[in-house]
Chain A
């Protein structure tokens, strides 16, 4: 998993706004940030760095194997 977990969200939306690839959405029911599209996470860590309460955990693994030009 790239972005793995949001735990202790205070609903400030900083992660939603600072994610360039639109991975995180606001759950309208709970008014909390949820990981909606983990497959589109580029693992840049902008969400984690913008979170004021350190709620976000990220791992370096990609959910889908990535296509590289050589290996």
Chain B
């Protein structure tokens, strides 16, 4: 049986090679050849700027907003810097349901809510963060109401209200690429402007990464501006990161699969609403498994029995496991909701939840894990990382608030608000009365050189082509979603080629492509993390599915996987028991 379902290494090269060829040829003929850089940019064309603050908040989504506001209110001097516009970049502008636990009206206690999430998540959640979400969501929602968040489909204006009231300086369209370190502490970050030839060093007493998640620039899900930049710069600076084996399983529409707007049926034009407690187990890799075993077209739905007769005569394992209490087929349908996000999905023009109508295709979010499962490893409930001075919040923090599967609609947005606020306050308090030495000029110059390298190269590879190759290797269903050792290792062989040979030759002739070059490198490092963590986790649970290890392994795998760089720069992996917190690296 095993022989039937395992493709040999040679066949894999054929399949993936075909895919790469097709997509690469569509835009760049003979893309594999190096091209010459038409730009004659010199390092001296760039100006260098230095900025100083107490708390540097990186990222302008829901987490960054609350982090900046609460750090300011706790008495720190704060700066907010973001690759895109505040409230108009990352995932935040697209989310419309926010979870609000109201203890006055909820029929479920916080203890019961946390227990239900843990049951659905098969213990992969960190109950400290699950509880924190429920405890604080109400207060964050009240603040958002005051700022006007619920009155508009676009959130830049409401987000800027509290920021302007506090005179918090904001720098937008700055891509941060490096963290500054001194004597083992993170003391700032560096990046470049997307508007003008300028490098900026931000010197601070602490840094909070609110940089969101990322993907492999997939189709149909608005995550193409994110490439796990925060996670990768933290990893390079010596922090531990986690969560790379989990997968968000949102499908896309076969029709216009490249359009986020159409995939989500115009949801972005709706005003946000509230969600209350309704714990479920959804958007793992069920539909990917169904497509793998039976072929397309696929009908989506948690609890749909994946192992039915298909065109293949191979017998497959049962597929991703849903805990009994959360199988929708076993339960009566919940009554229709007249308000909030669920009613919005049912309203005219939506015809059901977004992203899930008509014929479906896979890989809409490829490269992104379940929100809050991937990111920096926290050592406490404020999101302090394993590096002193460095915090993370929201989608950039591997808090496991929900675990390795989605457990509560609206909790992702609320979780970013809650964690942003808590980390901001903690970072501010830790910065008061702290004296920091200046970072050496030599380290700043080294960073400047690394930032500019793709623009100064005379020959090399275009980030667009390297990204297409990466997508061809990583996105197929049989690599990213329905996993087995042979294919994961084969994909890793390709990825190591990109890492060792192509990354050092990424080339850019303008600031946009400089951004793409750095993003491409981050995606390639992420791919290595995803493949190796997936090989290591020899079991199936939640959104991680191994065809060669289809069952949950309670004996060996009550653990998360932490990833870090050793002294030689190679990637290391360790298990961390579900009930333990790590120490500083």
Chain A residues in contact with chain B, CB under 8 A?
A: 2, 17-22, 25, 36-37, 39-40, 42-46, 49-50, 58, 60-71
**Contact of A39 with B363 in the complex, beta carbons under 8 Å:** no
B90 within 8 A of partner (CB): yes
- Interface members, chain B 511-526 (any A CB < 8 Å): 512, 515-516
B19 within 8 Å of A (CB atoms): yes
Instruction: Tell me whether B23 and A49 are in contact (CB under 8 A).
Output: no
What are 27 inter-chain pairs, A to B, with CB distance below 8 A?
A17-B85, A17-B172, A20-B90, A22-B84, A43-B259, A44-B268, A45-B266, A45-B268, A46-B88, A46-B154, A46-B268, A49-B269, A60-B261, A60-B262, A61-B256, A62-B257, A62-B258, A64-B27, A66-B220, A67-B19, A68-B219, A68-B363, A68-B475, A69-B476, A69-B480, A70-B288, A71-B296
Say yes or no: A43 contacts B90, CB within 8 Å.
no
- Residue pair B268, A49 in contact (C-beta under 8 Å): yes
Question: A21-B224, A58-B261, A60-B256 given as contacts; is B94 within 8 A of A70 (CB)?
Answer: no
Across-interface contacts of B259 in A (CB, < 8 A):
2, 43, 60-62
Contact of B362 among A50, A62, A68 (CB under 8 A): A68
Indicate if the CB atoms of B260 and A36 lie closer than 8 Å: no
Asked whether, in the complex, the Cβ of A50 is within 8 Å of the Cβ of B257, the reply is no
Pick from A22, A37, A62, A69 the residue with the most CB of B within 10 Å: A69
**In contact, A17 and B258 (Cβ under 8 angstroms):** no
Contact at A69–B362, with CB atoms within 8 Å?
Answer: yes
The interface residues of chain A lying within 8 Å CB-to-CB of B496 are none
Contacts of A68 in B (CB 8 A): 219, 252, 257, 361-364, 475
Q: How far is the CA of A29 from the CA of B261 in the complex (A)?
A: 32
Name B260's closest neighbour in chain A (CB-CB). A44
A62 with B219, Cβ < 8 A, contacts A17-B173, A68-B363 known: yes
Q: Specify which of B88, B225, B252, B288 lies most central, judged by the most chain A CB atoms within 10 Å of its CB.
A: B88
Q: A67-B19, A68-B219 are in contact. Are A46 and B93 (CB under 8 A)?
A: yes
Residues on A with C-beta less than 8 A from B489 are none
Within the complex, the shortest CB–CB distance from B102 to chain A, in Å, comes to: 31
Q: Closest CB-CB distance, A24 to chain B, in whole Å?
A: 10
Are A45 and B261 within 8 A (Cβ)? yes
Closest chain B residue to A45, Cβ basis:
B261
**B residues adjacent to A (C-beta < 8 A):** 19, 22-23, 26-27, 84-85, 88-90, 93-94, 153-154, 156, 172-173, 194, 218-220, 222, 224-225, 252, 254, 256-262, 266, 268-269, 288, 291-292, 296, 298, 361-364, 366, 464, 468, 471-472, 475-477, 480-481, 512, 515-516
Which residues of chain A are within 8 angstroms of B269 by Cβ–Cβ distance?
A: 45, 49
Bound Cα distance from A45 to B113, whole angstroms = 36
CB distance from A16 to the nearest CB of B (A): 9
Q: Which chain A residue shows the least CB distance to B258?
A: A62
Chain B residues with CB under 8 A of A21: 224-225
A46 contacts across to B, CB distance below 8 A? 88, 93, 154, 268
Contacts of A60 in B (CB 8 A): 256, 258-259, 261-262
Q: Tell me which residues across on chain A come within 8 A of B156, comparing CB atoms.
A: 18, 50
Q: Which of B154, B225, B261 contacts A20 (CB 8 A)?
A: B225
- Kindly state the separation between the CA atoms of A60 and B261 in the bound complex, as whole angstroms: 8
CB-CB under 8 A from B298, the residues of chain A are: 70
Residues of A within 8 A of B512 (CB): 22, 25, 36-37, 40
Residue on B nearest A47 in the bound complex, by CB = B88
Give Cα distance in the complex from A54 to B203, angstroms: 41
Docked CA distance A19–B254 (Å): 25
Nearest residue, chain B, Cβ from A67: B471
Of chain A, the residue at the smallest CB distance from B261 is A45
Whether B361 and A42, one on each chain, are in contact in the complex, defined by CB atoms closer than 8 angstroms, is no
Query: A20-B89, A43-B259, A70-B361 are known contacts; what are 5 more A-B pairs with Cβ within 8 Å?
Result: A62-B257, A69-B362, A69-B475, A69-B481, A71-B254
Bound together, the chains give a CA A57 to CA B476 distance in angstroms of 32
Q: State the CA gap A18–B262 with chains docked (Å).
A: 19
Q: Is the CB of B222 within 8 A of A22?
A: no
Query: Which among A18, A46, A58 has the greatest number of chain B C-beta atoms within 10 A?
Result: A46
- B219 and A18 form a contact (CB under 8 A): no
Measured CA separation A59–B309 after assembly (Å): 39
CB of A11, distance to nearest CB on chain B (Å): 15
Task: Specify which of B23, B172, B366 is in contact with A65 (CB 8 Å cutoff).
Answer: B23
Cβ contacts under 8 Å, B288 to chain A? 69-70
- B361 engages A20 (CB within 8 Å): no
Given A39-B464, A62-B219, is A69 in contact with B172 using a C-beta cutoff of 8 Å?
no
**Nearest A residue to B175 by beta-carbon distance?**
A22
B19: nearest chain-A partner, CB-CB: A67
- Asked whether A44 lies within 8 Å of B94 as measured between CB atoms, the reply is yes
Residues in chain B near residue A49, CB distance under 8 A: 153-154, 268-269
Q: Are B361 and A44 in contact (CB under 8 A)?
A: no
A70 to B364, CA, bound (A): 10
Residues of B within 8 A of A45 (CB): 260-261, 266, 268-269
| Chain B residues closer than 8 Å to A22, beta-carbon distance | 84, 173, 194, 225, 512, 515
Report Cα–Cα, A71/B262, bound state, in Å. Answer: 18
CB distance from A54 to the nearest CB of B (A): 14
Minimum CB–CB distance for A30 against chain B, Å: 17
Residues A39 and B27 in contact, CB atoms below 8 Å apart? yes
